[in-house]
Each structure stands twice: as structure tokens, then as C-alpha cells.
Amino acid sequence: MRKFLLSLVIAIFAVTSVGCGAYQVEKAVEVEPDETAFLIKLEGDTKSGQAKFESIEFLEEKKVGAKRIILPQRKRSTGRAWFSYEWIPTARVIRISRAPVHREWTDDSDSGTSEAFQKLHVESLDSVGFGVGATIQARIDEKDTARFLYYFGGQQLEDIIDGPIRSTALSLVSDAFGKLNLEDCKKSKTTIFKAAKTALIAEYEVMGITITQFGSSEGLTYDNAKIQAAIDDQVVSEAAIVAEANKKLANDKRREDQAAEAQLQVTIAQSKADAARKLQEAKDAMTFDVELYERRKKAEALPILAQNFANIRILPSNSPLLLELGLTGK
């Protein structure tokens, strides 16, 4: 009986022990259309001699074209019992998003991408501190994904823009503004950001990041509230001066336009008078030509009449008509 009970206990223990082992569940990773995936082995020989382990060439070979990747797994012991184990992946999938990323660095949560204070705060040559907003846009091209992964590991572009790239941008503009006094800083903002954009493109292109846009946003905001108030007053005053000057220019232009309009009316009147005079002269000349033409035709007709009536004696010999035609007997 004891042997039977012992056998029964062993059998029950064996049956229950079988169920304690971890069940292997398939692990899949989905890759989005705008992502590039790399399947990196976590165990075993990854490269002969490992001289180029995780080099750009090595990572280029690990690109995966599939949109669903099944991770390979193996058992790992977790205790002394034969059923004490778990399934762990032997490879890792790293996904790199190629979607463009846009950031606006300001100190205003309503306008900036982040609620954090991200405006680039610098100082002029005359030690006046101020902040200037900036906007940037970048992307990772397909051909550069391995290069980006090599330099930045598993980080995404958003983190790189708000981290290393922002630090570089701050350094560039801070150095440029620091060489100018405050007035020149206000005038040279566009030039400084243009030069910084060129430098950023060159520095991060070799790391697989394509920067397509970098420029200033918003005006300069001064750290000292009194300076900011003074600048605001100056801007208002300058705006009033400009408005008054524009008003004077507008009045001068209006007077010039009125004088030009009056002169135009005089010119038009003179042109009309000249046209009327020339028309009358033309009419008079035409009338004279008609009268001259009639006289000439009449003169040409008289000898013909004289010839036709040479032998006609109907009229008295002393008729004025005959005298006029020269048909008297004298």
C-alpha cells in the first residue's frame, strides 16, 4: 500500500511538473511603411573576428525588408529543476523612422512644439542676454538609416533634434551673437541663422541626418524685463515716427497727384483748343478750295459757251450776255 501511495505521489508530481515549464510564445515585431528595420543577433558569432561589429557596413547587412519579423528564441534555465526555464529572444529588432520631424523651439507652450522652455538663449557682445526662437525640420533617408543607427544607436530622430542638434545650434548662434553688440544682433539675426543652417547640415549629414530647414521664429526676447520694456517703448516710438513719416509722404504724394491732375486737365484743354483750331482751318481751306474749283470750272466753261453760241442771234445785239460772251458783231 505504501509503495502504491509513493508511486501515486511521484506520478502526480511528474504530471504537475510538466505544466510548470514555460510555454514558447511566438514573438513578432511589426514594421511600419515609413520605418527601416534591422535584425541584430544578441548571441553567437556576429562577424568573423568581430573586427567590424556594428560598423556601418555590418548594420547595412542586417536590414530586413519584411514588415513582420518573427524573433528567434531559446530556452534559458531559471532554476535547478528541469522545468525551470524561460524563453528569451536571441535577436533584437531596431526600427528607424524615416518620417520628417519638425520642431519649434520657443518659451511658449502655445507656439512651441514642447511645453518646455526651448528658446535659444544667448548674450550679445555688450552682455545683454536674450532668447531667440528657432524652427528646424529634418529627416532620415533610406540610404542613411544604417549610418544613423551606427552613430545614435536605437534613439529616434525626435530625441536627437531636441538633444545634440539643439545643443549644436545653440553653440553656433551663441558664438555668432556674442561677437556683435545688441543693435547689430537685431540686424544680423537672419544672416546668423543662415550660416548656422549651413553648419548644421554639414555636421549632421555625415551622421545620416538630412536637415532641410533651420531658421528663426519670433523676435528677440530680452532676459532683463526692464530692457525688454525699453525695447518695446523704442519699437513703439519708432513705429510712431515711421507712421508720421508715411503720413507726410502720403500727403505729399496726394498733392503731387492733384498738381499732376490739374496739369493734365490744362494739357487736355490745350489739346482740344488746338484740335478745334486745326479743324476750323481745315474747313476754311476746304471751302476756299471748293470756291476756287467752281471759279476755275466756270472760267473753263465760258469759252465753250462762246463757241456754241457764236452763230446764234436770238438775243439783241446789244444784250449784256452777248457782250459778256463776246458775241456782238463788233
pLDDT recorded at residue 281 = 79
| Contact by Cβ (8 Å): 74, 85 | no
Q: Which of 122-126, 251-255, 264-268, 325-329 has the lowest mean pLDDT?
A: 325-329
Q: What is the mean pLDDT of residues 324-328?
A: 54
pLDDT recorded at residue 224 = 75
pLDDT recorded at residue 48 = 46
Q: Of 102, 88, 96, 98, which Cα lies nearest the Cα of 41?
A: 88
Q: What is the mean pLDDT of residues 64-69?
A: 85
Q: What are the pLDDT digits (tens) for 270-320?
A: 888 888 888 787 777 777 777 777 777 777 776 766 666 555 555 555 666
For 267-288, give one letter per residue: b (16+ CB within 10 A) or e: eeeeeeeeeeeeeeeeeeeeee
Q: What are the pLDDT digits (tens) for 85-109?
A: 888 888 889 999 999 999 999 887 6
Residue 246 exposed, middle or buried by CB count within 10 Å (0-12, 13-18, 19+): exposed
Q: What are the pLDDT digits (tens) for 176-235?
A: 999 999 889 989 999 999 999 999 999 999 999 999 999 998 878 887 776 666 665 565
Q: What are the pLDDT digits (tens) for 262-275?
A: 888 888 888 888 88
pLDDT recorded at residue 65 = 82
Strands across the sheet containing 35-41: 63-64, 35-41, 91-97
Show the beta-strand stretches assigned E in the chain. Answer: 28-30, 35-41, 63-64, 68-70, 73-77, 85-89, 91-97, 101-105, 120-123, 129-139, 210-222
Q: What are the pLDDT digits (tens) for 11-46?
A: 555 555 555 567 778 888 889 999 999 998 888 755
pLDDT recorded at residue 134 = 94
Domains of the chain: 19-97 (no CATH), 101-223 (3.30.479.30)
Q: What is the mean pLDDT of the chain?
A: 80
pLDDT recorded at residue 195 = 97
Q: Of 178, 213, 170, 221, which Cα lies nearest the Cα of 194?
A: 213
